[in-house]
Amino acid sequence: MPGVLTVRDEGVARRYVFEQQAVVGRDLDCDIPLASRSVSRRHALVEKTPNGWVVRDLGSANGTSVDGARVREAPLVTGAAVRFGEVDAVFEIESRETTSAERLISSLSIAPVRKARPVAVFLVTTVGVILLAAATIWARYCDRAPAKASAASRAPTLIGS
């Protein structure tokens, strides 16, 4: 049965469901990314073992606590209060089995915005620079192009009669 971690970070509660394991940390590549500076880049690992769910601290600076006690590794049960640095969470074991359709949908989930933001900024900046360069080249080309003669100026001129 899947594990569920409900995390309250920056005043927002987020629910994360995972089948086997989840890495918790400040790094954007973590399965459960947290923004708090009290959380290490790779803070802890929550994983399913043959004996049940456990949380393992990954050498974090501010530690991991379960039900108020600081731990390096501890078993997790439904309702366990987990703390990563200064971020509170509640662990649960989802009681119902997920369907294959739900597993498919969760595997197709969109990356969190924080993961996509640097890529979007890079792309928008690059496209902006390219458009600015193209507009500059076009403006210089238009300034150098010879003026087209009007129909009146192309009429033959009679010189002396």
Averaged pLDDT in 10-residue chunks for the chain of 161 residues: 90 90 95 95 96 96 96 96 96 77 61 63 91 91 68 61 53
How far apart are alpha carbons 34 and 12 in whole angstroms?
A: 11
Per-residue model confidence (pLDDT) at position 11: 83
Nearest CA to 7 out of 110, 85, 72, 97 is that of 85
Strand partners, 88: 8, 83
Phi, psi dihedrals of residue 71, rounded to the nearest 5° = -135, 155
At 115 the pLDDT is 56
State the CB neighbour count (10 A cutoff) for residue 45: 19
Sign of CA dihedral 37, 39, 42, 47: negative
pTM, two decimal places: 0.60
CA distance 75 to 59: 17
pLDDT of residue 97: 63
DSSP string, 106-142: HHTPPPPHHHHHHHHHHHHHHHHHHHHHHHHHHHHHH
Best CA proximity match to 44, nearest among 18, 80, 83: 83
Compute the distance between CA of residue 9 and CA of residue 90 in angstroms, rounded to an integer.
12
DSSP three-state, residue 4: strand
Tell me what pLDDT residue 96 has.
66
Q: Say how far apart CA 55 and CA 37 lie, in whole Å.
A: 20
